[in-house]
A = this chain, B = another copy of it.
Amino acid sequence: MEKVFSIADVTREMGPSANGFRERWASYILELQQSICTGLEAKDGISRFTDEQWARSGTDSKAEGGGRTRIISGGSIFEKGGVNTSIVHGKVTDPMRVQLGMDGDRWFAAGISLVLHPKNPFVPTSHANWRYFELYDEKGKVIRNWFGGGADLTPYYLFEEDARHFHGCFKNAMAPFGSTLYPAYKAWCDRYFNNAHRGFEMRGIGGVFYDHLVPGEMSKQHPVSFTLEEAFAFQRAVGNQFMAAYLPIIERRADEPYTDQNTYWQQIRRGRYVEFNLIHDRGTLFGLKTNGRTESILMSLPPQVRFDYNYQPAEGSPEAALLDVCRHPRDWA
């Protein structure tokens, strides 16, 4: 049952949070969604984002809450894209305990997730996501909370200048929080966006990725221990960097003329994007297997895709150069 959604619904459903943080985080991602959509619309100049606000009642196996699904398609720049928020909560179910190792009684998750598939094969696809989780005991007390996020770039043709710019932006955004963060989260991104069923083959040239960033904890994967406030500031710094990282690349490439052969290769690589998202991506599979909102989750899939048997680019071609960098990630910043 879908109805118009607002943060007030979540507060009414869950009660206000003890420290006010759930509400602050939810406000941040909704603001970020708004500003990204506004900026991308201005860049596209033709298409506008739809604005679908949804909410639903929970059941034992289905989360409660809502979100805003904002989709763009058929634009001058963007063939298809989505910038979605969702703010959901529910009971920790047995499958979550077994498959995800989650404990506690109830959970809360709120995030923004975006994927942009440009039409021109010289403009890369980009994806980003920032999220926050809380787990509660039976009295509603937070027993664990963590952040995750990242942004990555999937070019169809390699422009080293673009790769350096994209990585450099996130390196700069992270630097004030500790110089060890960018290298750790860059390496994590290289490991994560890997089509392992094709040996080591990344879906693009990476960016940054991190998960289970728990305030007050440090580990090999998380080289800096943040307070809750520091972690929030870090999330904002990285999230607010997205447009600065992506827009200049669009500007540089959007008017590049292209051939049917360029589009053919774009569609082959989009096939790899589909493979990654449906076979490996934890967020997608978690959403689909926990009765998430299927159309919002699958907005990430590229609009037009090809699957050829054993397609191999010609040796020495620009297509082969792209494939090489997906198989052998480089340091860009």
Contact = CB atoms under 8 A, between A and B. Distances in A.
Interface of A: 71, 73, 80, 82, 197-198, 267, 271, 274-275, 278-279, 285, 288-289, 294-295, 298-299, 301-310
A279 B278 CA distance: 6
B303 A299 contact: no
Q: Copies per complex? A: 2
Contacts of A294: 197-198
Contacts of A271: 301
A283 to B, nearest CB: 14
Contact of A306 (B278, B285, B295, B305): B305
Contacts of A197: 288-289, 294
Nearest to A307: B301
A308 B309 CA distance: 24
A307 B267 CA distance: 12
Contact of A305 (B295, B299, B307): B307
B309 A82 contact: yes
A279 B275 contact: no
A71 B307 contact: no
Given A71-B309, A271-B301, A302-B307, 10 more contacts: A71-B310, A73-B308, A80-B309, A274-B305, A274-B307, A275-B298, A278-B278, A278-B279, A295-B310, A305-B305
A267 B198 CA distance: 25
Contacts of A198: 294
A70 to B, nearest CB: 10
Ranked 10 nearest A-B pairs via Cβ: A301-B307, A278-B278, A197-B288, A295-B310, A305-B305, A71-B309, A299-B309, A197-B294, A278-B279, A198-B294
Contacts of A301: 271, 307
Contact of A303 (B274, B279, B306): B306
A80 B73 CA distance: 28
A238 to B, nearest CB: 26
Contacts of A302: 307
Contacts of A308: 73, 80, 303
Nearest to A299: B309
B279 A274 contact: no
Contacts of A305: 274, 304-307
A25 B308 CA distance: 30
Contact of A278 (B274, B289, B299, B309): B274
16 contacts: A73-B308, A80-B307, A80-B308, A80-B309, A82-B309, A274-B274, A274-B278, A274-B307, A278-B279, A299-B309, A301-B307, A303-B307, A303-B308, A304-B306, A305-B305, A305-B306
